[in-house]
């Protein structure tokens, strides 16, 4: 994995958001049949990226009609709830640009229906797993990503691509992509700005550098089979040499 893993260090969170937005713009311009498929991350980390994409120059330069957006996880709340990933993304980005987006109906627990949607909309690899052009992820302070939390059952799922995951430590239930779907993507970008994440980033990058090593945190299980893995850091989160 160390050979395919890239780390890109930006000056700060705003610079990180701008550079990722530039890459998404270029992705929207790539040749090819069908839309470029992107799974959005929830939580607080990607909000600045979405706001950057919703403002000039990206609002006007991204080819939004070439993109089709999905969600990598969602809380079990209605779409207008303050904790909803969809609500955050809609306020920051979706309501400002002409793009197609498929929200997760996590409040009804219909994980199988979202998996069917993904399978219907996205071409599969030879193993029958849909291949996203890009999956955006963040990392929580406990090393979770999407809604793959430490000690939860979804970490062991190898057949289903979207599941409802019980998260006792958060006293909640969430819908999430599983490792098989995430690791089939052409690109997986992990956005981790902030000095409060530096030690956890160091632990994860050290683990990723060891082939077949232990996975101390759920995010370390994100190791694309054939696609690229980029950790987008800023000067606060990047481990000091």
Q: 107-118 pLDDT, tens per residue?
A: 999 999 999 999
Q: How far, in Å, CA of 144 to CA of 156, rounded?
A: 14
Residues 50-61: what's their mean pLDDT? 98
What's residue 230's pLDDT? 98
- Using a pLDDT cut of 90, give the percent of the chain over it: 90
pLDDT at 241: 67
Q: Please give the domain boundaries of the chain with CATH numbers for all domains.
A: 5-234 (3.40.50.1360)
101 CB neighbour count, 10 Å cutoff: 17
Query: Which pLDDT belongs to residue 170?
Result: 86
For residue 96, count CB atoms less than 10 angstroms from its CB and return exposed for 0-12, middle for 13-18, buried for 19 or more: middle
CA 44/CA 227 separation, integer angstroms: 25
Kindly report the pTM of this predicted structure: 0.96
Mean pLDDT (whole number) for 62-81: 97
């Amino acid at each position: 994995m160390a050979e395919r893993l890239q780390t890109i260090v930006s000056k700060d969170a705003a610079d990180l958001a701008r550079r990722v937005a530039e890459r998404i713009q270029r992705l929207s311009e790539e040749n090819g049949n069908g839309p470029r498929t992107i799974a959005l991350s929830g939580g607080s980390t990607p909000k600045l990226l979405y706001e950057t994409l919703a403002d000039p120059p990206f609002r006007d330069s991204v080819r939004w009609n070439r993109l089709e957006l999905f969600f990598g996880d969602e809380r079990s709340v209605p779409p207008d709830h303050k904790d909803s990933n969809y609500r955050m993304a809609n306020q920051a980005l979706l309501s400002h640009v002409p793009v197609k987006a498929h929200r997760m109906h996590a409040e009804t627990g219909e994980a199988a229906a979202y998996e069917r949607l993904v399978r219907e909309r996205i071409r599969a690899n030879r193993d029958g797993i849909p291949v996203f052009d890009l999956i955006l992820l963040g990392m929580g302070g406990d090393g979770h990503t999407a809604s793959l939390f430490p000690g939860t059952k979804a970490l062991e799922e190898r057949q289903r691509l979207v599941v409802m995951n019980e998260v006792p430590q958060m006293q909640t239930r969430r819908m999430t992509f599983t490792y098989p779907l995430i690791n089939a993507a052409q690109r997986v970008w992990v956005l981790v700005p902030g000095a409060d994440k530096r030690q956890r980033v160091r632990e994860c990058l050290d683990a990723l550098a060891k082939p077949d090593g232990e996975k101390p945190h759920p995010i370390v299980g994100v190791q694309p089979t054939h696609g690229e893995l980029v950790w987008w850091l800023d000067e606060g989160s990047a481990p000091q040499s």
